[in-house]
Amino acid sequence: MTSTETLTGERADLLETMRQHRWFLTFTAQGLTDEQAASSPTVSALCIGGLIKHVAAVEANWVKFIEQGTEAMAHDPESTDYDNHEANFRMAPGETLESIIARYHEVAAHTDKLVETVDLDLSHPLPSAPWFPEGKTWSARRVFAHIIAETSQHAGHADIIRETIDGQKTMG
């Protein structure tokens, strides 16, 4: 793995920012039991383990988009399979926090290698979906920015949940 110290410019910035926000997210799970990681102690149904699982899945899907193009993220707009989407945010029976974090580290390592090597201008049309504007394309650069935003947003969610569980804060 290339260190951000040997990279310069935009690639180094992307890697450093991704790694920082991944750290914020996974720090919220530090010292938790599987039961605590699966708990939803706020009004929200979100849990720390589920958030990490979700962010790993989203990152992996966007990396497939960069590597394989639009079809890698094909979505059936007629689908009403919301249960599977919601399950992405929960720890399933038998899942452990350790296995979820290990999977996240695998995804992150693959993404990091891609940041180091991919043409950042490589672009693909976004798949047809109600949440994407028609005819829009995203470059690898834009996808990495989106992954950072997604990770950052959910790290904030996880921080609130962790503070509710036992008072631990990521910062402050």
Q: What is the CATH number of the domain that holds 45?
A: 1.20.120.450
The answer to whether residue 4 is domain-embedded is no
Residue 5: per-residue pLDDT: 57
H or E segment to which residue 80 belongs? none
Residue 75: per-residue pLDDT: 58
What are the residue ranges in the chain where pLDDT is below 70?
A: 1-5, 75-83, 172
The answer to whether residue 156 is domain-embedded is yes
Domain count, the chain: 1
Residue 78: per-residue pLDDT: 52
Residue 129's domain spans which residues?
A: 9-166
Residue 67: per-residue pLDDT: 98
H or E segment to which residue 125 belongs? strand 123-125
In this structure, the number of other CB atoms found within 10 A of the CB of residue 109 comes to 11
Residue 1: per-residue pLDDT: 42
Task: Give the residue from 17, 31, 2 showing the smallest Cα distance to 101.
Answer: 31
Predicted TM-score (pTM) of the model is 0.91
State pLDDT tens for residues 45-95. 999 999 999 999 999 999 999 999 999 887 555 544 445 777 889 999 999
Task: Give the residue from 159, 145, 111 showing the smallest Cα distance to 13.
Answer: 145
The answer to whether residue 1 is domain-embedded is no
Residue 112: per-residue pLDDT: 98
